[in-house]
Structure 1
Amino acid sequence: MKYVATLLTLSSLVFATPSYALFGQGDKTTDVMTQMATQFADEQASQSPLVQSITEQVDVSSTQAAGGASALLAMAANNLTGNNQQELTSLRPDLGSLSSLLGDSGASNNISSLNSLYSVAEKLGINAATLQQFVPVILKYLGQEGASQELLGSLTQLWP
């Protein structure tokens, strides 16, 4: 009798508990939500003309393009001063949504040196040489958006 009760209890647990929980594969709901969030970020990022330009010219995903461009622009915003900083800020309406792909809002404030820039790029799966390919694309984009030669020159000196 105890054997039958034990067998019934174990059977009910096996059928009531999702198999992934029994085999230690984690919370599938969280995994699905993460995949959906990543897909949404990819879709949002791919709508940006800058991200489209980068992905057409550099072999990266739209999320990598958006994150890398955001990191470069955050570094610029943290290092430029005066008119250049104001001008860059005024040229970024399309780019504001990209910064959310860097993660928490404090991440962009910490990108002030090449080391911190390359660290962010590495987390995105981008090496330094690939990130350097973003620079002419971003400069061209900003030039088309009306950036002054002074701003473009400052960015050229700042970025790798």
Structure 2
Amino acid sequence: MTRTRTLIWTLMLSTTLTSPSYAFFKLGNNAEDLTGTISKTLGLTGNSSTLVSQIAEQFPISGQQATGGVGSMLSYAKQALPAAQSTELTSLLPGIDSLTNAMPQLKNSSLTSMDEVNSVFRQLGMDSSMVTQFAPVILKYLTSQGASTGLISSLTSLWQ
């Protein structure tokens, strides 16, 4: 009897740990389903929702982890960038405030260092090394939205 229970628990645990996060959290299995689910769940709109969906699709994380990770990185960027670049970033991601306010860790706060960003990643259950994995995806997305080379260069420096 004990052996059977152990086998069942082992199978359940291995299934949970090896399933893609979108399947486990029932976030759908394609970009459209994922974007819609994240948008509805977290109240995100437009470009912010698309960016978060791209992150969630590329890494084995939940929509909330993607939102919190992207939100923390952008929150720090808004504070650290010169005013003109911060304005450009906000214009490229009009829903940036919903991103930074979607998670309790970020609500009404301004992150002022990469240490704080790394701390948010850890609070969300992600290794802080994920920042370096998120950065190229965010930069590519912003480039596709027409970000200036100056903004991309500044963000690259910030998120190292």
TM-score range, shorter chain: 0.5 to 0.7
**Conservation of the 8 A alpha-carbon contact between 2:131 and 2:159:** no
Which residue does 1:20 correspond to in 2? none
Change (3 A) 1:42 1:101: same
**Conservation of the 8 A alpha-carbon contact between 2:73 and 2:117:** yes
TM-score by structure 1 length?
Answer: 0.67
Q: Deviation per CA, 1:25-84, whole angstroms, max 9, x where unpaired?
A: xxxxxxxxxxxxxx9887336871111100111221110001100000000001001321
Structure 1 residue ranges without an equivalent (≥5): 1-38
Change (3 A) 1:131 1:59: farther
Match of 1:152, as an amino acid? Answer: I
Number of aligned positions between the proteins: 120
Q: Deviation per CA, 1:108-148, whole angstroms, max 9, x where unpaired?
A: x1x11111111111111111112221101111111111111
Which residue does 1:44 correspond to in 2? 42
Percent identity of equivalent pairs: 38
TM-score by structure 2 length?
Answer: 0.67
Which residue does 1:152 correspond to in 2? 152
Match of 2:137, as an amino acid? Answer: V
Match of 1:57, as an amino acid? Answer: Q
Aligned to 2:134, the other structure's residue is in SS state helix
Q: Distance in 2 between matches of 1:136 and 1:58?
A: 13
User: Which is higher, the Rg of structure 1 or of structure 2?
Assistant: 1
Larger CA deviation: 51-60 vs 40-49: 40-49
Change (3 A) 1:61 1:40: closer
Query: What's the C-alpha RMSD, in Å, of the aligned pairs?
Result: 2.3
Which residue does 1:105 correspond to in 2? 107
Q: Deviation per CA, 1:73-116, whole angstroms, max 9, x where unpaired?
A: 00000100132111112112133322222326332x1x111111
